[in-house]
Structure 1
Amino acid sequence: MIIKKILNNNVVITLNEHHEEIVVMGKGLAYGKKTGDYIDPSKINKTFEVSLKSSQKKMVNMLKDIPIEYMEISDEVIQKARKELDSDIDDSLYISLTDHIHTSIERYKEGIPLKNQLLFEIKHFYKKEYELGLWALSLIQDKYHIAMDEDEAGFIAMHIVSSEIGRNISDVYEMTNFIQEILKLVKDYFQRDFDEESLAYYRFATHLKFFGLRVFNQSKHNQDDSLNNDLLEIMKEKYVKPYLCALEIKSFIERKYQYELEDEEILFLTIHVAKIISNK
């Protein structure tokens, strides 16, 4: 690889085997180097093949100003997320998460912590992502000796969720509101609260996250309708009240989001509602 552009001593732009621009990172990678020099492959510890020009430009601008240590923290968090979450994590998370971590640390150095107004919801709806956020705070404390509030774990979790579902942070807030609406509808229907620490509740919230994504994208599952119809007939007789509650959810979503639920979606809602109301 030959250096095409030096961003700083640790980050350069080069070309891959397809002659496409990529960003490579490594401590001292460009120290004493100039454009046109060869890169020592043994010093490369991360490669970013950012396909969208706009994303690459954001990454380039960010890496010019942000020390490599922030990117390394992001990399550790993202690698852990890819192992522990059953979803795709887009490389664009390197941009948003590194920028957020850098900004947060600078804020804390100035004594300006921020409150996360959705912390309660994040802890319950995005439990695994929140735990990753807490783990990221431990990395920051070990490296910079800054003890951040759990609010920051919530902010980091939201960036991870945004990457998982391939949408902007503002869309994640909309998704969170969607989950709140459905859970409130179920609580009001049965006139009772649920164990928000239970596995059934967490699974229902997780289902609603991806169900909400289909609603916002107006997309459907391609499943065997005849099989779903048969299963739904069985479930609506076995779980009468959960099924009727699922119909209430169906009516609400069709009215507010103009999304028509198929039998498969009603089936899954019935099953999840049955599980959370039977959970002791």
Structure 2
Amino acid sequence: MEQILIIEKVLNNNVVIARHDTYKEVVLIGNGLGFNRKKGDSIPFDTADKTFLLKDEKEMEQYVNLLPHIDENLLEFIHGLLLFIEEKMGKELNEHIHVALTDHLAFAISRAQKNMQFSNPFLYEIEALYPKEYRVAQEVVKKVESHIGIAFPEGEIGFIALHIHSAVTDKSLRDINRYNALISQLVEIIEANLSLQLQRDDVDYHRLIQHLHRAIDRAHKGNSVAEERKLEELLKKEYPVCYNLAWKLIKVMQNQLNKPVDEAEVLYLTIHLQRLLHNQ
């Protein structure tokens, strides 16, 4: 049976907010969907190419305020990108990406047109931590560059990858950026204490970054790893520099996260550090 909704607000020719019996306000997106329509008009639910709810009133307000400042053709293009991202990731995206990525891309395109360059200090870490999101972000940037005819700075790939990761995992960008900053800090401590320059494209570096990320995630969730007392004694004896550095890293994590970090993490960090030192 066809669902008929009542339009609450026409945001532009392609986006309307309609009243749904169950979900209250629903955002409907489709080419020409709002053309010649006004508040109070009925609209079939299945005429929309994409529908989503913005349950958070603040996000809905941000979205409503954002749209008048974005060209409708660009908005339609961004909606196409969101569908592309969802298809490539094979997962339904959290709806907050409609606000966050639309806002980000609109300003990123404006910056590119004005030749304003923004660096991304966590680019290598983002690629190592979220390889699938990074590859999809690369494809998104290619599509954007083709659409506007202007090259994007490489750092934008990392920013877009973070938005994708946030939408797929339902983690806030604030937490993701905080953890990435912590990982970057830990890497600086490792380089300073071992007197070496880590190669960002090296497989051992990627393994270290992945492990640090998992250790932070485990600490955040309160999970632990299995303890190996015999292994601990061996590593402490054979690799004292890396073992002591691993403890230092654990303390930094605990202070930054304000959460306990499982002491068994020291063992695995020691192995990663020793591998890095040996290969250097």
Query: TM-score interval w.r.t. the shorter chain?
Result: 0.7 to 0.9
CA spacing shift, 1:123–1:31, aligned 2, 3 Å: same
Any conservation in 1 of the 2:162–2:173 contact (CA below 8 Å)?
no
**Residue 235 of structure 1, CA deviation:** 3.1
CA spacing shift, 1:194–1:234, aligned 2, 3 Å: farther
* Distance of 1:237 and 1:73 partners within structure 2: 56
Any conservation in 2 of the 1:73–1:139 contact (CA below 8 Å)?
no
Any conservation in 2 of the 1:121–1:176 contact (CA below 8 Å)?
no
* Distance of 1:17 and 1:199 partners within structure 2: 53
Query: Structure 1 stretches of 5 or more lacking a match?
Result: none
- Corresponding residue of 1:115: 118
Any conservation in 2 of the 1:29–1:40 contact (CA below 8 Å)?
no
Letter in 2 for 1:114: Q
CA spacing shift, 1:124–1:11, aligned 2, 3 Å: closer
Match for 2:171 among 163, 166, 186? 166
- Corresponding residue of 1:148: 152
Q: Give secondary structure in 2 for the equivalent of 1:5.
A: strand
Pairing of 1:267-278 with structure 2 (within 5 A): 267-277=267-277
TM-score by length of 1: 0.78
Deviations 1:14-48 (A, max 9, x none): 23451421111011112232333332444311111
Identity of aligned pairs, percent? 24
Any conservation in 2 of the 1:29–1:44 contact (CA below 8 Å)?
yes
Match for 2:64 among 45, 48, 60? 60
- Corresponding residue of 1:261: 261
Q: Give secondary structure in 1 for the equivalent of 2:18.
A: strand
**Residue 204 of structure 1, CA deviation:** 2.5
- Coordinate RMSD, CA, aligned: 3.2
Any conservation in 2 of the 1:254–1:261 contact (CA below 8 Å)?
yes
- Corresponding residue of 1:23: 27
Deviations 1:165-224 (A, max 9, x none): 72345x544333311221222333433333422333223213323544566x5x511x5x
Match for 2:48 among 44, 66, 89? 44
CA spacing shift, 1:157–1:249, aligned 2, 3 Å: same
Any conservation in 1 of the 2:31–2:76 contact (CA below 8 Å)?
no
* Distance of 2:38 and 2:257 partners within structure 1: 55
Paired positions, count: 267
* Distance of 2:203 and 2:193 partners within structure 1: 21
* Distance of 1:81 and 1:266 partners within structure 2: 37
Any conservation in 1 of the 2:26–2:54 contact (CA below 8 Å)?
yes
Pairing of 1:84-99 with structure 2 (within 5 A): 89-99=93-103
TM-score by length of 2: 0.78
Query: Structure 2 stretches of 5 or more lacking a match?
Result: none
CA spacing shift, 1:179–1:60, aligned 2, 3 Å: same
CA spacing shift, 1:266–1:89, aligned 2, 3 Å: farther
CA spacing shift, 1:41–1:256, aligned 2, 3 Å: closer
